[in-house]
């Protein structure tokens, strides 16, 4: 029998306990629907409010988080989440507006959305932006749908292949798979760029386009990006930019200027929307002139121009060849757009450039200090992140062991085993919101761990040692598949 650190909410339940109660009804009573339409039991917990608070407080203490410490999770951009954003997104005027209200009554929301579209266009160099997609992966899916619709509209139906570099995020091929297209993997060259020879060979009239993350997941800005785009455009394909790494490009270069046709933004990475333990995200998409008519509907537009004393009226518009609706209503307005809007408004053009510059400085500083201890397979000036190998010659230690040992030093581990093209990859993204002292402590911990790997490898293999929980038996979880602490036949026992 396993030791229980914190009971589940069901185990904490006791019959007859009362939590938050609602007022008595103020209307005459109506009979309930016929018995056969009603449920007979409601097997949900019964707790007092204090039980609930203590439970979730205890759970919260089991989590590592950005407010508590350094979280260099590569590709995830775990930057500090400004507290003011938490206040602005909870203003009553945002919290309590219904998505189907008449547009005249929500002009504040619509102005915010309109300006957000305009700002994202300006930051990225695109001609149009939709705010609708719920997260990066949904933004990608929207982008691929638009690419497909573009070719289809032109009667170019034989295009079924998407070119994707071997270093790409898994969401890229998965988005393509959802549309029944095929994926052609393009290798990287020895400097971490797209292999131009392999790309040329793959470019033909069956290509939908290419999905390129730039900077790529090695943290390298592709030195031939314009040539890559030229090759893809040359065969009639469209160029998709995975905006997961946009943090490195703010005020540095605009993907639209480079020739990208479409790109998603991760407002929860680049623009400080918190990750929430796995969401909600927010994944607007920007497009160049070729794709503006295909954007998901609706967009926010000016539907009555301003005149003398009357401000413009903002409302919803549908692009001519829209691929349709990606989700219900208008996107992740409150928790996503309001926070990101606050963040951009407080940075302005110079502040945004600072973000990218310091994110890149911090990554290069770590890379420079770790270079002598860890092997860095693609070693040149990196952008916002870099990848090193978590292995040592003649040692059984793996990237996973190093990651787990870092927890003992009170750091969140880097992303491990990604990108797939680096053995025992440790992908490190410090972001711009870490100071030099933190970075130095992180370097010292990694250097110490490299020593431990030689002298006391078991210390790493058993790590984490000083955390509340040890390594998990993931095989047991997948084999026994206990996904629920409540099953109908168990309810009697719980009661």
Partner 1 sequence: MTYIPISPHERDEMLKTVGVQTLDDLFEAIPQKHRFPELNLPPALSEMEAADLLGEMASSNENVREHMISFLGAGAYNHYIPSVIDHMLRRGEFYTAYTPYQPEISQGTLQAIFEFQALMSALTGMEVSNASHYDGATATAEALNLAYAQFRGKRKKVVLSPAVNPQYREVIRTYSQGLGVENVGDSASDSALSPEALLPLIDESTMLVVLQFPDFFGRIYDYTKIIEAAHAQGALVCVVANPTALIMLKTPGAMGADMVVGEAQPFGIPLWYGGPYLGFFTTKKSYVHKMAGRLVGETIDSRGQRSYVLTLTAREQHIKRERASSNICTNQGLLALACSIYMSALGQNGLRQVANLCYQKAHYAANELNKLAGFKVHFTEAFFHEFTLECPKPAHEVNQYLLENGIFGGYDLGQNYTALKNHLLIAVTEMNSKADIDALVAALKEM
Q: Would you count residue 323 as binding partner 1 (CB under 8 A)?
A: yes
Q: Would you count residue 368 as binding partner 1 (CB under 8 A)?
A: yes
Q: Would you count residue 386 as binding partner 1 (CB under 8 A)?
A: no
Q: Could you tell me the smallest distance in angstroms from the CB atom of residue 9 to partner 1?
A: 5
In angstroms, rounded to a whole number, what is the distance separating the alpha carbons of residues 213 and 383?
Answer: 12
Q: Would you count residue 375 as binding partner 1 (CB under 8 A)?
A: no
Instruction: Return the sign of the alpha-carbon dihedral for residues 372, 375, 381, 385.
Output: negative
Query: In angstroms, how far is the first alpha carbon of the chain from the final one?
Result: 21
**Closer to partner 1 at the Cβ: 234 or 454?**
234
Q: Would you count residue 326 as binding partner 1 (CB under 8 A)?
A: yes
Contact between 443 and 369 (Cβ < 8 Å): yes
Q: Would you count residue 275 as binding partner 1 (CB under 8 A)?
A: yes
DSSP 105: G
Q: Would you count residue 394 as binding partner 1 (CB under 8 A)?
A: no
Helix (H, G, I), strand (E, B) or coil at 262: strand
In angstroms, rounded to a whole number, what is the distance separating the alpha carbons of residues 226 and 229?
Answer: 5
**Closer to partner 1 at the Cβ: 367 or 391?**
367
Selected from 336, 390, 422, 442, the binder of partner 1 by CB under 8 A is: 336
Binding track over 98-127 against partner 1, x by CB under 8 A? xxxxx-xxxxxx-xx------x--xx-x--
Contact between 408 and 467 (Cβ < 8 Å): yes
Selected from 423, 448, 454, 471, the binder of partner 1 by CB under 8 A is: 471
Site for partner 1 in 195-234 (CB under 8 A): 220-223, 225-226
Selected from 155, 393, 455, 481, the binder of partner 1 by CB under 8 A is: 481
Site for partner 1 in 46-65 (CB under 8 A): 46-47, 49, 52-53, 55-57, 59-65
In three-state form (DSSP H/G/I as H, E/B as E, the rest C), the secondary structure along 164-231 is EECCCCCHHHHHHHCCCCEEEEECECCCCCECHHHHHHHCCCCEEEEEEECCCCCCCCCCCHHHHHHH
Contact between 494 and 8 (Cβ < 8 Å): no
**Closer to partner 1 at the Cβ: 53 or 303?**
53
Q: Could you tell me the smallest distance in angstroms from the CB atom of residue 394 to partner 1?
A: 26
Q: Would you count residue 301 as binding partner 1 (CB under 8 A)?
A: no
Q: Would you count residue 318 as binding partner 1 (CB under 8 A)?
A: no
Selected from 413, 426, 427, 450, the binder of partner 1 by CB under 8 A is: 413
Cα angle 329, 331, 336 (rounded to 5 degrees) comes to: 140
Selected from 196, 302, 313, 345, the binder of partner 1 by CB under 8 A is: 345
Q: Which helix (H) or strand (E) holds 242?
A: strand 238-243
Q: Would you count residue 426 as binding partner 1 (CB under 8 A)?
A: no
Selected from 158, 170, 303, 444, the binder of partner 1 by CB under 8 A is: 170
For 81, the token pair is 């989440």
Q: Count CB-CB contacts under 10 A for residue 87.
A: 10
**Closer to partner 1 at the Cβ: 41 or 308?**
41
Selected from 127, 236, 251, 459, the binder of partner 1 by CB under 8 A is: 251
Backbone angles phi, psi at 303, to 5 degrees: -105, -15
Backbone angles phi, psi at 58, to 5 degrees: -65, -45
Q: Would you count residue 94 as binding partner 1 (CB under 8 A)?
A: yes
């Amino acid at each position: 029998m396993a030791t229980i650190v914190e009971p589940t909410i069901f185990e904490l339940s006791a019959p007859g306990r009362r939590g938050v109660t609602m007022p008595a009804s103020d209307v005459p009573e109506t009979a309930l629907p016929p018995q056969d339409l009603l449920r007979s039991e409601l097997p949900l917990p019964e707790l007092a409010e204090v039980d609930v608070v203590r439970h979730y407080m205890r759970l919260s203490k089991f989590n590592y988080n950005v407010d508590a410490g350094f979280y260099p999770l590569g590709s995830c951009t775990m930057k500090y989440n400004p507290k003011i954003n938490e206040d602005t997104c909870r203003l009553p005027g945002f919290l309590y507006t219904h998505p189907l209200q008449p547009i005249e009554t929500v002009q504040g929301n619509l102005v915010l959305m309109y300006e957000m579209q305009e700002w994202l266009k300006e930051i990225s160099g695109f001609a149009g932006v939709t705010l609708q997609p719920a997260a990066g992966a949904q933004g990608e899916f929207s982008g691929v749908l638009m690419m497909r619709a573009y070719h289809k509209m032109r009667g170019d139906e034989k295009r079924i292949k998407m070119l994707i570099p071997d270093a790409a995020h898994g969401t890229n091929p998965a988005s393509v798979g959802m549309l029944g297209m095929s994926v052609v993997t393009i290798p990287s060259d020895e400097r971490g760029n797209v292999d131009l020879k392999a790309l040329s060979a793959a470019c033909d009239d069956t290509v939908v386009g290419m999905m390129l993350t730039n900077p790529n997941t090695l943290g390298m800005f592709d030195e031939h990006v314009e040539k890559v785009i030229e090759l893809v455009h040359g065969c009639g394909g469209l160029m998709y930019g995975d905006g997961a790494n946009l943090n490195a490009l703010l005020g540095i270069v605009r993907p639209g200027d480079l020739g990208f046709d479409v790109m998603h933004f991760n407002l929860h990475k680049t623009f400080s929307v918190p990750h929430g333990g796995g969401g909600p995200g927010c994944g607007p998409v920007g497009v160049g002139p070729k794709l503006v008519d295909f954007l998901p509907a609706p967009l926010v537009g000016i539907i009555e121009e301003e005149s003398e004393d009357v401000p413009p009226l903002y409302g919803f518009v549908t692009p001519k060849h829209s691929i349709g609706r990606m989700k219900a209503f208008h996107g992740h307005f409150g928790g996503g757009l309001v926070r990101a809007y606050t963040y951009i408004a407080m940075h302005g053009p110079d502040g945004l450039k600072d973000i990218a510059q310091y994110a890149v400085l911090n990554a290069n500083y770590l890379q420079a200090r770790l270079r002598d201890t860890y092997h860095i397979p693609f070693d040149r000036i990196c952008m916002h992140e870099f990848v090193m190998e978590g292995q040592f010659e003649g040692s059984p230690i793996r990237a996973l062991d190093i990651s787990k040992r870092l927890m003992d030093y009170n750091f969140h581990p880097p992303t491990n085993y990604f990108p797939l093209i680096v053995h025992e990859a440790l992908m490190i993204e410090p972001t711009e919101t870490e100071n030099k002292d933190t970075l130095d402590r992180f370097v010292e911990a990694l250097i110490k761990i490299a020593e431990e790997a030689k002298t006391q490898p078991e210390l790493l293999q058993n790590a984490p040692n000083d955390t509340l929980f040890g390594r998990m038996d993931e095989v047991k979880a997948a084999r026994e598949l206990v996904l629920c602490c409540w099953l109908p036949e168990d309810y009697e026992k719980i009661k």
